[in-house]
Amino acid sequence: MNIGFIGLGAMGLGIVPRLIAAGHAVTGWNRTREKAAPLLKAGMRWADSPREAASQSEIVFSIVTDAAAVRSVALGENGVIAGLRKSGVYLDMSTIAPDASRAVSSEFAQAGLTMLDAPISGSPVTLAQGKASIMVGGERTAFERVKPVLLDIGAKATYIGASGLAVQMKLAINLVLMVEVIAFGEGVALAEKGGVAREAAVEAMLNSVVASPVLGYRGPFILEGRMPKAPLADVTLQQKDMTLVLELARKSGAATPLAAAANEMMNACRGLGLGHHDFVIAHEVYRRLGGMSK
């Protein structure tokens, strides 16, 4: 198929090659063209605007930082909405507030167009392994049409329900992800405080019943010299999702005390100048709180 792709950050850089490898013709756009260089070498075509990418495509994806960025690329005279054909489908994979997603979807519906919220669960690591999953909210018939393409990106594509519910599900998943990674750092720091070597603590955790895919590839980052220079998700980006979780909980009356505690650890990370690291760096905050040297 002819596919448009808007937003070529870490996830976009991983998704587009999978679409090309599956035989699709991809036309991409990014705010800075420099990031697209490796994809252009791999066969992606360049568009000068989201509108141009949409005008050449049957399906258009976007994955950008926040709701303001989604509105910027989706709406307006140079947005996807201006170029998408009536038979096309626009899928936004960004993690934003459900109400914000529904508001953009409503604009598309008023224009006689179809938008789905289709956040992806995974990191560049799981994406490269073919293990990422995609959740979809919106018209089920549209989901069934695009599902084969979604399965070219990740291992599973799940229909969640009406517009906005997929991003709500993504926030719920990210809540669990955040709490799990924070708890891992807390547990390892506790073991270290008692005299267990960090390497032994990490190995024991990853061989125990608490092991999970995310801890499997993220846990070793806390070992000496293993923290990646380019984080999978830095503290600031991950905290953005937690503030969305807490605001959603406030509006709906849901109790999320663990999300609140995890968010405070992100505050502590930033306060100690660690915000540019992958958010598993919270382990270092626990070490310092416990009086352990670097």
138-149 residue pLDDT tens = 999 999 999 999
- Domain with residue 80: its CATH number is 3.40.50.720
Residue 90: inside a domain: yes
pTM of the model: 0.93
Residues 205 and 248 in one domain: yes
User: Which helix (H) or strand (E) element contains residue 179?
Assistant: helix 165-193
**Looking at residue 132, what is its pLDDT?**
93
Same domain, residue pair 177 and 156: no
Q: Same domain, yes or no, for 134 and 181?
A: no
End residue of a domain, out of 162, 197, 215: 162
Please name which of 168, 136, 160, 165 lies closest in space to residue 249, comparing C-alpha atoms.
168
| Whole-number Å distance between alpha carbons of 184 and 215 | 8
Asked if 133 and 9 sit in the same domain, the reply is yes
Contacts of 192 (CB under 8 A, 6+ apart): 198, 201, 287, 290, 292
Give the residue from 113, 138, 162 where a domain finishes: 162
**Is 120 a member of any domain?**
yes
At 62-100, the pLDDT tens digits run 999 999 999 999 998 999 999 999 999 999 999 999 999
Q: What percent of the chain lies above the pLDDT cut of 70?
A: 100
158 lies in some domain? yes
What 3 state SS string does 225-290 have?
Answer: CCCCCCCCCEHHHHHHHHHHHHHHHHHHCCCCHHHHHHHHHHHHHHHCCCCCCEHHHHHHHHHHHC
Q: What's the whole-number mean pLDDT along residues 154-161? A: 96
Q: Considering its fold, how many domains does the chain have in total?
A: 2
Over the stretch 233-287, which tens digit does the pLDDT of each residue have?
899 999 999 999 999 999 999 999 999 999 999 999 999 999 999 999 999 999 9
For residue 23, name the pLDDT band (cuts at 50, 70, 90): very high
Note whether 17 and 118 are same-domain residues. Answer: yes
47, part of any domain: yes
d(CA 179, CA 230): 22
* Same structural domain, 189 and 52: no
Q: What is the CATH number of the domain that holds 201?
A: 1.10.1040.10
Please report which confidence band the pLDDT of residue 20 belongs to, taking 50, 70 and 90 as the band edges: very high
Mean pLDDT for the chain?
Answer: 96
Q: Are residues 139 and 177 in the same domain?
A: no
Examine residue 10 and state whether it is found in any structural domain, yes or no: yes
Same domain (yes/no): 141, 240: no
220 Cβ partners below 8 Å, 6+ apart?
202, 206, 226
Angle subtended by helix axes 98-110 and 67-74, to nearest 10: 10
pLDDT of residue 123: 87
Whether residue 293 is predicted with pLDDT greater than 80 in this model: the reply is no
Regarding whether 140 and 23 lie in a shared domain, the answer is yes
User: What is the extent of the structural domain holding 140?
Assistant: 2-162
What's the distance, Cα to Cα, between the start and end of the chain in Å? 52
Domain-located, residue 294: no
Q: Are residues 189 and 102 in the same domain?
A: no
List, in order, residues 6 or more apart from 98 with CB less than 8 Å away: 117, 164, 165, 167, 168, 171, 248
Residue that has been written with the tokens 């599902």 in this structure: 147
Q: Examine the domain organization and report whether 42 and 178 are in the same domain.
A: no
Residue 169 and residue 248 in contact, taking contact as beta carbons nearer than 8 Å? no
Tens-digit pLDDT profile for residues 32-62: 999 899 999 999 999 999 999 999 999 999 9
- pLDDT bin (cut points 50, 70, 90) of residue 107 is very high
Rounded CA gap, 41 and 59, in Å? 22
CA atoms within 13 Å, Cβ hemisphere of 208: 12
- Among candidate residues 147, 162, 177, the one where a domain is terminated: 162
Within this chain, do residues 131 and 189 fall inside the same structural domain, yes or no? no
Nearest to 95 by CA among 144, 134, 126: 134
